[in-house]
Amino acid sequence: MAMRMQRRAGTARATKASPGEEVHLLETRPVLPGYQLLTWAAQDIARKVQPGQFVYVLAPRAPGLLLPAVPVAGVDRLAGRIRLLISADTGHEALWSLRAGDVGRFEGPLGRGFEIDAHSRYLLVVTDVAGFARVGASVEEAVASGRQVTLLLGARTAAEVLPSSLLPDEAEYVVATTDGTLGHHGSVADLVSEYEAWADQCLAAGSTELLTRLVRLAEGRRARMGVAKLGRKRRRGPEPRATVSRRRAWLQLALPHQAGCALGVCLGCVATGERGPLRVCREGPAFAAGELRWETGS
Amino acid sequence: MTVDLAPRRRGGLRLRHPLVVAAGGAGYGGELLAAVAAQTPGAIITRSVTREARPGNPTPRMALLSHGLLSSIGLQNPGIDAVVQRQASRWSASTTPIIVSICADNAEDIAALVRTLDMQPDIAGVELNLACPDRSRGGEPIGLDVEATEIATVAARAATDLPLIVKLTASAADVRPIARAVAAAGADVISAIAALPALALDPERGGAILGTAYGGLSGPAIKPVGLRVVYEIAQAVRLPIIGIGGVASLEDVLDYLAAGATAVGLATAALADPFLPARLADELAAWCEARGISDPGALSGRALPRRRDRGSLRSGPFAR
């Protein structure tokens, strides 16, 4: 059965529309206590996936429950491989105990990933450990397309910092730890101001606290940078509430898929958008910061 | 494997097999049908629709628990007129019976909703959801009160000749008088159960996980409750029952049929795997064939006590 694909604004937005693809586990690698990197042979998904998109695990899984979709943390298109970074508490206990050679069944790629402007040369990626899985593929793809990438990673302590081997050699890797045991002492958001003038765009994932702070920083960036408002003169009066262009947005955020059908049907994974509820599994998981309403805690 | 849930209605409510997607498991039907192609369920009961648009509940709306799912969607929907306008063409293209679920706080709205659906040529039936929180009753579902249930069912029945399904909640201390009121008011089918009111807390924050604090618990955790309610309804009334709650395997299907269900509904599991209802129907057909059973209706009610023994239930722990 052919996967139904919808093309919009140059980005694939797929639906869960087939019994999925049989995938083979090639390698499991513990990267941190409580985190494993699983490398799967998944030809079809690897060919189609865009950074920020995810897969839905049909097997192995606990029956009868809506599980979180799993972001694709890395992709090797030539070899037809994808990498999933799973943690012990994501609801995918069935994946945790797998070994190389085991077989699974995934649906995907699902959702709408990051949209990077073709003119963007310098990309800032900000995340914490839990959010890395949602931005990891973006770093790889951006480096492969010749962009300069800096990844800012926040962790509680040095023992929880992800190894640099998860990133391409060309990417700059900067760490902040809450207890100061490695890199900057404090929040990773403290580092953003050093890069905001350099970066053409910023992609982020992580805790609500981190994303909220980044949104606040991005709101004031235009004023701090003194960026002129270019383009056609707008008429006086309130700003029209047109759809925010993700491709042009300086800050894009990938939200976690907590649980749900990943089909756009259950309405369980919605985030609060400026113009109403937005489904993380269909309209997201990547959003322009301006699409989301933050004061209500989305 | 054909099942007719409303043989007394003109045209009936004929299903190719007894596995249906319950409300909440398939949106408005079109999304699921597009996904599963030929592997269709026996029928699709849509997400519950209200007379006016509702924005839904604040986020987070869903939490994964160890054996169930806690959700609080808040009946997000664009209102009956918009739903009909957007979905009518999809419903008419569907060969799978589409049953539209409605939810309202009062008899006037119920009648208006049903009248709107009665004018749609491609709807196979209406499900009156009496299990959702009723804002005018302080959040208490209509289905907890015998009199309110009867009034609501009468209002729906008077507005249509379509097969009428009434969905009951497991929260009632004794569901039997409520089921009898539904039957007396002219319903054709009873569906049960809806998600159970529940709460999940975040130990780190010390607060509720969901934006609304309370949610509806669904999934495997509620199957024993669903079985109990279907078992009781089946002994109280002679209406066909759609048994819902925690169905994810052939064993669950057989259990619900044995408890007295005529058809079995999947919601949470169908969202997780849209192909599951059709797959379970195939497994049920194979199971029946292996045992020489030609009519799955013969499986219905096998676990029920024989009729002369049923009085003993009245002295049970749930007796009133």
Does residue B171 register a pLDDT over 60?
A: yes
Place of tokens 């919808």: A6
Across the interface, of B60, B61, B248, the residue whose CB is closest to A64 is: B248
Q: How far apart are CA A11 and CA A246, in angstroms?
A: 11
B276: enclosing H helix or E strand: helix B276-290
Tally of CA atoms within 13 A in the half-sphere of B155 that contains its CB: 21
More confident residue, B161 or A258: B161
Whether omega for the bond prior to residue B193 falls within 30 degrees of 0, making it cis, is yes
Question: Which H/E stretch holds residue A11?
Answer: strand A11-14
Taking residue B153's Cβ as centre, other Cβ atoms within 10 Å add up to 26
The pLDDT of residue A155 is above 50: yes
Whether residue B138 has pLDDT greater than 90: no
Q: How confident is the model at residue A236 (pLDDT cuts 50, 70, 90)?
A: low
Say which DSSP state B278 is in. H
Strands B263-266 and B241-244: parallel
ipTM here: 0.83
Residue B197 tokens, joined: 């009111």
Percentage of chain A exceeding pLDDT 90: 54
Span of A110-119, B155-164, B234-243 with lowest mean pLDDT? A110-119
Tens digits of residue pLDDT in B247-280: 999 999 999 999 999 999 999 999 888 889 999 9
B103-130 burial, b if ≥16 CB within 10 A, otherwise e?
bbbbbebbbbbbebbeebeebbbbbbbb
CA distance A210 to A79: 35
Chain B residues with CB-CB distance to A259 below 8 A: 62-64, 69
- Percentage of chain A with pLDDT > 70? 86
Using the predicted structure, report yes or no on whether residue A231 has a pLDDT greater than 60: no
Length of chain B: 320
Q: Is residue A209's pLDDT more than 70?
A: yes
Q: Which residues contact A195 (CB under 8 A, 6 or more apart)?
A: A124, A150, A152
pLDDT at A92: 80
Q: If contacts are CB pairs under 8 Å, which of residues 49-78 in chain A contact chain B?
A: 58, 61, 63-68
pLDDT per position as a tens digit, B279-311: 999 999 999 999 999 888 889 999 999 765 554
Quickly state the pLDDT bin for A205 (edges 50, 70, 90). very high
Q: Please name the residues between 151 and 180 in chain B that touch chain A, using a CB distance below 8 Å.
A: none
Report pLDDT for A275: 81
pTM reported for the whole predicted model: 0.83
Tell me what pLDDT residue A18 has. Answer: 52
Question: From the CB of residue B77, how many other CB atoms can be counted at a distance below 10 Å?
Answer: 23
Residue A23 has pLDDT above 90, yes or no: yes
Total residues found in chain A within this entry: 298
Of the candidate ranges A6-20, A252-266, B185-199, the one whose mean pLDDT is the lowest: A6-20
Least confident interval from A10-14, A64-68, B85-89, B231-235? A10-14
The residues pairing with A103 across neighbouring beta strands, listed in sequence order, are A24
- What is the pLDDT confidence band of residue A274, given thresholds at 50, 70 and 90? confident
Phi-psi category of B27—alpha, beta or left, where left has phi over 0 and alpha has psi -120 to 50?
left
Q: Do the beta carbons of residue A154 and residue A234 sit within 8 Å?
A: no
A74 forms bridges with which residues in the sheet?
A: A83
Q: Give the nearest partner residue to A64 out of B58, B63, B220, using CB atoms.
A: B220
B182 neighbors B153 (Cβ within 8 angstroms): yes
Q: Give the Cα separation of B238 and B236 in Å (integer).
A: 7
Nearest CA-CA distance, residue B272 and chain A, Å: 5
Q: Does the pLDDT at position A66 exceed 90?
A: no
